[in-house]
Amino acid sequence: MLSALLISVTLNSIAEGISVDAGLTPAQDRIIVRLQYRNIFNQMGSNDIVMHIFPVVVAYGLTPDITLMMRNMYRNVGINETMMEMDSRWMDPFLMGKVKLYRHNAPTYTVGIAGFAGTTFPVLNSSISKNYSPVIGLNVSYRPGLWSFDLNNAYEWVNLNTRESQSVAKEVQVNMAISRNIILPGIDNWVLAPVQEFSFLQSHSNSEDVSNKYGFISPGFQVVSPNVKIEGLYQIAVNSSNNTGVTNGNRIIVGLRFMF
Amino acid sequence: MKYLENSFLLIAIIGLFSSVPTAVFAETIEDNIIIAQNDTTQNKVVVYEVFGMDCPGCQSGLEKQVKKIEGVADAKASFIAKEVIIELKPDATVSDEEIESRIKKANFTPGKKVEAIKNEE
């Protein structure tokens, strides 16, 4: 049971790592493919856990108001000095729908609010949990001129056992991102955007009655063109010493996004 | 003598730049419109204000929607100018409502029609 919470701690990714348009749903028929690499370094006591995560996200604008998203990630376990069993494998696929709740496009700013709901599906033979992990959340975006302010909130029932209606853990994620577009002189239609993210996460293991609060302060950047976005983020762990015995290390996220 | 040399040099530079295709310098919307007027093969061009774009990614999303309209030859959006330039095929009849509907499908808000230029050729 504790291991499920630990996996949740190490793999949380709904609100983490560079907002995907947050409260603004993309255009109808828009296809977005996001490839990422995340380097995760944790310690359990003096034992190291090093993982390399490769999430793949495909989003599709079904209508201007509804976006469908599928995510799957491959986990490569580099170093595992703990007693927990963790193998390198594809994780359970995650399907999500995002709905536009409000959007106002003014001449000088844009405001958008979107709600989302999704879950993992234990359809792979390699699935360990055999349970679903439902997520609900709310995204808010405010874009005055060249500035961007995005707020992502998510609530996840980690490994919900449908027979007992009881999840192994519950997790709250709050993520705020601030960025500003800088027009690159001499390069048409490309912008550089320094990004600063703040993430707060709280997990609670129902079976062990153990809570865990931690966060990240994450400077990063985006380079945006009409059809490609390059992303980089360095996550500095804050308050990583917690009740689970796991200490979060700093993380690196790099990504490539294609927009069709 | 020195003054004469400088004058010849200046004339040579102006001559060189005037022979470069005009499109090289077509960086602004206004330039594009002027080219549309001068080029005999160019079609009718309409320009709309668009609100809600905040990055180059938004531009391509809007262009994709507008290009789906029957009769649209090309579309260029600019999040900086907050505009989309739409080039219509010859004799194409595209209603304002249709263009505005496509702008809304891209999740943006159409403003006023800035310019409408019809090629007389």
Span A187-232, pLDDT tens digits: 888 999 999 999 998 888 777 677 788 899 999 999 999 999 999 9
Neighbours of A195 (CB within 10 A): 20
Task: Name residues whose C-beta falls within 8 Å of residue B61's C-beta, 6 or more positions apart in sequence.
Answer: A26, A27, A30, A259, B106, B107
- At B35, is the pLDDT very low, low, confident or very high (cuts 50, 70, 90)? very low
Query: Is the pLDDT at A233 greater than 70, yes or no?
Result: yes
For A110, the closest chain B residue by CA position comes to B52
Quick one: closest CA in A to B59, which residue?
A: A226
Residue B11: its pLDDT value, please?
A: 52
Residues 6+ apart with CB under 8 A from B22: B31, B35, B38
The answer to whether A60 faces chain B, any CB pair under 8 Å, is: no
- Range scoring the smallest mean pLDDT among A4-13, B41-50, B65-74: A4-13
Residue B114 has a pLDDT of 78
- Maximum distance among all alpha carbons in chain B? 65
Instruction: Label the pairing between strands A94-105 and B72-78.
Output: unpaired
Report the alpha-carbon distance of residue B106 to residue A30 in Å, rounded.
9
Would you say residue B25 has pLDDT above 50?
no
Q: Chain A residues with CB inside 8 Å of B109's CB? A: 105
Q: A29, A146, A189, A190: best mutation site toward chain B, by most B Cβ within 10 Å? A: A189
- pLDDT of A206 reads 73
B60 touches chain A (CB under 8 A): yes
Say if A225 is an interface residue toward chain B (CB within 8 Å). yes
**DSSP label at A93?**
P
Q: Are A148 and A229 in contact (CB under 8 A)?
A: no
pLDDT at B93: 85
What would the two tokens of residue A251 be?
């993380």
Alpha carbon of A54 to those of A121, A135, A173: distances in Å?
Answer: 18, 20, 20
In chain B, domain spans: 29-117
**Region for residue A149 given its phi and psi (left: phi exceeds 0; alpha: psi -120 to 50; beta: otherwise):** beta
* Closest CB to B57 among A64, A106, A259: A259
Q: Do B111 and A107 touch (CB under 8 A)?
A: yes
> 10 Å Cβ neighbour count for A16?
22
**H-helix or E-strand spanning residue A73:** strand A66-80
B107 touches chain A (CB under 8 A): yes
- Residues of chain B contacting residue A106, judged by C-beta atoms under 8 Å apart: 51
Confidence grade of residue B33 (pLDDT, cut at 50, 70, 90)? very low
Of all residues in chain B, the percent with pLDDT exceeding 70 is 59
Task: Give the class (CATH, top level) of B29-117.
Answer: alpha beta
Whether A147 shows a pLDDT value over 90: the answer reads yes
What percentage of chain B has pLDDT greater than the value 90? 48
Q: Which residues of chain A make contact with B104, given a CB cutoff of 8 A?
A: 64
Region A84-97: what's the mean pLDDT?
87
Buried b (16+ CB within 10 A) or exposed e, A225-235: bbbebebebbb
**Which residue is closest to B61 within chain A, CA to CA?**
A27
Closest by alpha carbon to A98, among A134, A55, A62, A144? Answer: A62
Name the most confidently modeled range: A14-18, A131-135, B31-35, B71-75.
Answer: B71-75
What average pLDDT does this structure show over A86-105? Answer: 91
Q: Is A19 on the interface with B (CB under 8 A)?
A: no
Q: Does A107 touch chain B (CB under 8 A)?
A: yes
Domains of chain A, first to last: 2-259 (2.40.128.130)
Which run of H or of E encompasses B19? helix B2-19
Kindly report, residue by residue over A60-87, the tens digit of the pLDDT: 999 999 999 999 989 999 888 887 778 8
Query: What torsion do the CA atoms of B98, B103, B107, B111 make, to the nearest 10 degrees?
Result: -110
Task: Please tell me which residue of chain B has the smallest CA distance to A61.
Answer: B106
* B105 interfaces chain A, CB cutoff of 8 Å: yes
| Nearest chain A Cα distance for residue B17, angstroms | 19
User: Residue B116: pLDDT band by 50, 70, 90 thresholds?
Assistant: low
* DSSP string of A148-159, one letter each residue: EEEEEEEEEEEE
Q: Do A225 and B59 touch (CB under 8 A)?
A: no
Give the CB-side neighbour count of residue A228, counting CA atoms within 13 A: 4
